[in-house]
Amino acid sequence: MAFAKAVNVSQFNSSDNTWDAIVVIAASIDAIEDDTLRAAVSSAAQVDGRIASSCNLIITEAAPGKRLIYSPTGALTRYFDDVRRFHDAAQHATNLIIDAGVVSPLLMVYADSDERYSKAAEVAFLAINQTAWQPLEARESLVEDEIEPLTQIGMLNDVDCHWLNAAEAGCRVARDICGTNPERMAPPLLADYCVEALSGSSVKVEVVSSQEQLKSEYPLLFSVARASEQVARHNARVITMTYEGKGEIKHTLYLAGKGVTFDTGGADLKTDGHMAGMSRDKGGAAAVAGFMKMLADLQPEGIKVVAEIGAVRNSIGSEAFVSDEIITSRAGVRVRIGNTDAEGRLVLSDVMTHLLELAENDANAEFFSVATLTGHAARAVGPYTALVENGKARSQNSAHMLSAAGDLWADPAEVSRSRREDFDFVKPRTKADDILSSNNAASAVTARGHQFPMAFLVLASGLDKHDVAYTHVDIAGSGVESGDWQHGKPTAAPVMMLAGRYLN
């Protein structure tokens, strides 16, 4: 998998022709500790006042290739500052170095001892690759080395480059799956991509491709896929990935990923241009697969992870499922459909039931659903991931530990609670059904619109009958840059949050 790999470099040497530039990221010129580099930036700033406050390229004999890119973070001492200052500074630098023809830069990050910035250098590296990444279709149709010219990044900070490269490999898988068009990453091709990405690794991959088996074993999931059954290239898949590290297992995780490769809204059709960008409704599946890729490359001990992706296309047509249908879930729960555009929770419910069955003998297992689930999450918490936890997860402080890890890795989250109103919202209205999937209003204008779907998932999957910790992870606001679901680059959230919590 091609990307700019991290390489440890013990010391700065301007004459080392392995590197053709140096990128310096610091809060201010005075924060640059290397005398030679600080002098070069200070001298340039006396001529050009912009250098002190914005990212610029400085021509100097003090830098390899005579190119020094200084990108200031600005203030870091305020309570609301966080490591994304370094992420943003690295992004600015990346755009500049690519335009300048740099292919092999050194990276030097100056961060003070504040714990918030303990992963600043790693975050900067990941930000460079995030910015340099180009969509899979572009790499397949153009010359990859030309559109992604960076080959390696020298790390002058003391970091674990093996771990860092595995992290970027996982993030790249997540970006590829999320950011690829609905034909190139239709369910069968999404499954193929996962098989290929994890081929020869310690992650076992199993794919259910039989539509009859899916209809029987994943009835809610298949209802979403029903209108696509007649189109073979759009047929649903369930992809199960399993990793079990050596030694005593300290963490056992079960991850359910929503992989809606295109969401038309179904019979409750998306209108007014809201269908654009719905090929990214597979961001949860993308993140789950990315995390498994990271496990495959790192092979950590003491952790077991089972991840399952429900890959479907929510199509329209004569076979489309409709509101008012009552469909019995894998867990035996009779679900009345409230709106066919609330399809992700149906896909996830059956997947979670299967994961519960697989986890029957796993003590202390933790469960997660990862999805671009609700517009409400994006409206309520903006560019942050929304975490909604059940009672046991809350007693274990699960979401707050995830959030704390995300803060260090520029993959932040906001924590929400599951409450009684959420369960009341989905309670049955008749004796004909056990639960209502959703209301008819857009989630973005529904009170507790990103919390109540978690209650539905608990009940429809049968998780309420098990004493397990469960956290729902909604990335509708964090899954792409700038909230631009049609054009924004996928962020790979919450890969780094999970990695920071369980693999660091």
Q: Is 405 exposed, middle or buried (0-12, 13-18, 19+ CB in 10 A)?
A: buried
Which value, in Å, is the radius of gyration of the alpha carbons in the chain?
A: 23
Q: How far is CA 487 from CA 87, 91, 134, 191, 252, in A?
A: 20, 17, 12, 24, 36
H helices, E strands: number in the chain: 17, 17
Peptide bond into 494 cis (omega under 30): yes
Give kind and range of the element (H or E) at residue 195: helix 187-197
For the question of residue 313 being annotated catalytic, the response is no
Q: How far apart are CA 293 and CA 410, in angstroms?
A: 20
Q: How far apart are CA 330 and CA 94, in angstroms?
A: 48
Residue 11 has what DSSP assignment?
Answer: S
**Catalytic pick from 270, 392, 394, 417?**
270
Strand partners, 411: none
Q: How far apart are CA 73 and CA 87, in angstroms?
A: 9
**Catalytic pick from 119, 237, 293, 345?**
345
For the question of residue 270 being annotated catalytic, the response is yes
Residue 366 has what DSSP assignment?
Answer: E
What does the DSSP assignment read for 227-256? GGTTSGGG--EEEEEEEE-SSS--EEEEEE
Q: How far apart are CA 456 and CA 373, in angstroms?
A: 12
Do the Cβ atoms of 347 and 249 come closer than 8 Å? no
Residue for token pair 């997860």? 393
Q: What is the β-pairing status of strands 385-389 and 413-417? A: parallel
3-state secondary structure of 258: strand
Q: 259: which residues sit within 8 A by CB, 6+ positions away?
A: 177, 187, 190, 239, 282, 284, 285, 286, 309, 310, 311, 312, 347
In terms of residues, how long is the chain? Answer: 504
- The 3-class SS string of 21-38 reads EEEEEECCHHHCCCHHHH
Q: Region of 242 please: left (phi>0), alpha (psi -120 to 50) or beta.
A: beta
Could you give the residue numbers annotated as active site?
Answer: 270, 345
